Amino acid sequence: MDLQVGEAIERCRKGDIDALEPIYRQYRDLVFRICYRMAGNSAQAADWTQEIFIRVFEKIRSYRGNAKFSTWLYRVATNYCLDQLKTTRETVSLESLAERAANDDPGERILSEERHSAVWNALRSLNPKLRGVLVLKDLEELSYAEISRILEIPEGTVASRLNQARKELADKLKNYSAMK
C-alpha cells in the first residue's frame, strides 16, 4: 500500500469523505473485477462497485491494520456481492450480450456467445458461497490462506468448497455439452 492510500485510510477513519478518492483510484479495478465475476455483467458490477466504496467508507473504522488493506477490501467486496446474490435474481443484460459480440464471424460469434453464456449461467447457478470461493481462487488467483482470511473460514473449508464448486460447475457444463 502506498503512503497516499495509508494516509487516506486514516483520514477516512476520521470521517473525511474526500479521502476516499485515492483509495477508490487505487482499488476500483480490483473491486470491479470481483463484482463483474460475481454478477456476470458490467452494469451490475459498476453499480456494486460504487456501493462497495460507500460501504468501505462506512466500515473503514473496522479495518484494524493487522492484515493487508486489500485483504480487508476483498472481504468487504465479496460479502457485499454474496449479499446481493442472495437477494436479487440475475439476468443477462443487453450490455453484456453486446460485450460478447466482439467477434466479426457470425457463426463463431454465436458459438462464442453460447459458450460464454453457458459458463456464466453455470457459475451463477452455484450456491453463492461456492461461487465466492471459486471466483477468489480461480479468477482472482488468491491463495487458500488469503481466501480463508477474506471469508473468515478455515482453509480446509476453502478447499472443500472449491472442490465442490469445481465439481458442480463441471457437471453443469457437461450437461450443456451433452445438449449440443
- For residue 19, give its domain range: 3-179
Task: Locate all alpha helices (DSSP H) within the chain, ordered by sequence.
Answer: 3-13, 20-39, 42-59, 69-87, 94-100, 106-125, 128-134, 144-151, 155-179
Share of the chain above pLDDT 90, in %: 38
What pLDDT score does 109 carry?
A: 53
Q: Does residue 33 surpass a pLDDT of 90?
A: yes
Q: Which residue has the higher pLDDT, 180 or 72?
A: 72
> Which pLDDT value is given to residue 48?
95
Q: With 80 as the cut, is the pLDDT of residue 94 above it?
A: no
Q: Give the span between the Cα atoms of 24 and 103, in whole angstroms.
A: 33
pTM: predicted TM-score of the whole model, two decimal places: 0.64
Domain of 134, CATH number, reads 1.10.10.10
Residue 104 pLDDT more than 90?
Answer: no
What confidence category does residue 58 fall into, taking pLDDT thresholds of 50, 70 and 90?
A: very high
Integer Cα distance of 86 and 77 in angstroms = 14
Q: What is the pLDDT of residue 31?
A: 95
- pLDDT class for 133, splitting at 50, 70, 90? very high
The tally of domains found in the chain comes to 1
